[in-house]
């Protein structure tokens, strides 16, 4: 059995989700290849070749692939699908965008967002915003699976796989117009060791920036937000942690002014240590927090900043 992992990358960098998906793939088979889709991705391919356990790296390039156009990504993968028994894709916004297309074209049922490999045909995946875990067994000969990166450890470097070029693909009916990426020196939310998240209690985008961002910067943390804060326009959607946003599992998750709706908990409850700061002692967030501070964030966050400074952080 051979497995193809499709790399998560932004043309310049190989993202950590790839290493984690390789870990899931290695549970299925020792024959794991990585497909890098993009444009000008030689650096990404070299990084993928260094992941321990990878047999070879395949590179497909085109303008459409460089812009992450799903039709092209699926077609490039489909051209190789005959050689593999399973195709694994990190369950990022980009991966979720094209993986189901591959499944549809192969006439197989996609298996979304797995958190555990039970056996070669049986997987565990969260449903109902993580309130239930479903164990499913696939009857399809070929499997198309998206992998929740936070559920698997990253495969370490140490390999030296060969790199081969394969044919790219285009998308005739879809044109890239523009993109607007959030520029930030902070670590990426999904991969950060510490995440500081703000909720609706912030009350405005200005307050969110004035309270949450300095604390995140002091800790070298990524910034997250609850869906309520995103819906209210206090934070960009890209910050959203939860069922409908990103799933994170950092070493330390600090929830500031977040009540702890089911859908938010689904996105962060696998964090190693959870801290909740909320003035409402009955907020559901305290039921999952390792350390709870019942206080108004307006005083608690400045106090925390001073305490961190005093502790030499």
213 contributes a contact to other proteins by CB under 8 A:
no
Using only the alpha carbons of the chain, give its radius of gyration: 21
Q: What is the chain's length? A: 313
230 contributes a contact to other proteins by CB under 8 A:
yes
The helix (run of H) or strand (run of E) holding residue 213 is helix 205-219
CB 263 within 8 A of CB 284: no
Binding mask 293-312 for other proteins (x = CB under 8 A): xx-----x--xx-xxx-xx-
Instruction: With contacts defined by CB under 8 A, name the span among 40-48, 80-88, 157-165, 286-294 that binds other proteins.
Output: 286-294
Binding mask 77-116 for other proteins (x = CB under 8 A): ---------------xxx-xxxxxxxxxx-xxxxxxx---
Class of residue 140 by CB neighbours under 10 A (exposed 0-12, middle 13-18, buried 19+): middle
Binds other proteins (CB under 8 A): choice among 176, 204, 206, 296: 176
* Closer residue to other proteins, CB minimum distance, 25 or 221: 221
Q: Residue 216 Cβ, how far from other proteins at the closest point, in Å?
A: 13
Distance of CA 69 to the CA centre of its chain: 18
Instruction: With contacts defined by CB under 8 A, name the span among 35-43, 121-129, 162-170, 201-209 that binds other proteins.
Output: 121-129
Encoded tokens for 289 = 């927090």
Torsion angle of C-alpha atoms 262, 118, 93, 80, degrees rounded to 10: -170
* Closer residue to other proteins, CB minimum distance, 42 or 306: 306
In angstroms, how far is the first alpha carbon of the chain from the final one? 49
11 contributes a contact to other proteins by CB under 8 A:
no
Binds other proteins (CB under 8 A): choice among 16, 140, 170, 280: 140
What is the rounded distance in angstroms from the CA atom of residue 166 to the CA atom of residue 256?
A: 48
156 contributes a contact to other proteins by CB under 8 A:
no
171 contributes a contact to other proteins by CB under 8 A:
yes
Binds other proteins (CB under 8 A): choice among 16, 46, 63, 71: 71
Q: Residue 94 Cβ, how far from other proteins at the closest point, in Å?
A: 5
What is the rounded distance in angstroms from the CA atom of residue 23 to the CA atom of residue 135?
A: 19
Near other proteins in 17-36, by CB under 8 A: none
What is the rounded distance in angstroms from the CA atom of residue 62 to the CA atom of residue 72?
A: 9
* Closer residue to other proteins, CB minimum distance, 53 or 284: 284
CB 192 within 8 A of CB 246: no
* Closer residue to other proteins, CB minimum distance, 161 or 190: 190
CB 2 within 8 A of CB 29: yes
194 contributes a contact to other proteins by CB under 8 A:
yes
């Amino acid at each position: 059995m051979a497995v193809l992992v499709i790399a998560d990358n932004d043309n310049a960098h190989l993202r950590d989700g790839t290493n984690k998906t390789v870990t899931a793939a290695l549970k299925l088979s020792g024959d794991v290849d990585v497909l890098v889709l993009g444009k000008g991705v030689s650096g990404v391919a070299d990084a993928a070749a260094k992941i321990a356990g990878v047999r070879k790296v395949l590179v497909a390039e085109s303008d459409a692939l460089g812009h992450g156009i799903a039709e092209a990504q699926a077609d490039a993968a489909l051209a190789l699908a005959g050689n593999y028994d399973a195709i694994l894709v990190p369950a990022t916004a980009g991966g979720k965008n094209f993986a189901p297309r591959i499944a549809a074209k192969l006439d197989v049922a996609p298996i979304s967002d797995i958190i555990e490999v039970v056996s070669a045909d049986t997987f565990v995946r969260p449903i109902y915003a993580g309130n239930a875990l479903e164990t499913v067994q696939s009857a399809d000969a070929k499997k198309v699976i998206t992998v929740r990166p936070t559920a698997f450890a990253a495969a370490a470097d140490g390999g030296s796989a060969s790199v081969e070029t394969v044919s790219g693909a285009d998308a005739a009916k879809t044109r890239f117009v523009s993109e607007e990426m959030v520029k930030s020196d902070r670590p990426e939310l999904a991969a950060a060791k510490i995440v500081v998240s703000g909720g609706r209690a912030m009350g405005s985008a200005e307050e969110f920036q004035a309270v949450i961002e300095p604390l995140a910067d002091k800790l070298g943390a990524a910034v997250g937000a609850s869906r309520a804060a995103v819906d209210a326009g206090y934070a960009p959607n890209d910050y959203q942690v939860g069922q409908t946003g990103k799933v994170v599992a950092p070493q330390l998750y600090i929830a500031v002014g977040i009540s702890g709706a089911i859908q938010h908990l689904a996105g962060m409850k696998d964090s190693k240590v959870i801290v909740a700061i909320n003035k409402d002692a009955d907020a559901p967030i305290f039921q999952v927090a390792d350390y709870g501070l019942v206080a108004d964030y307006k005083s608690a966050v400045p106090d925390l900043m001073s305490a961190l400074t005093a502790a030499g952080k």
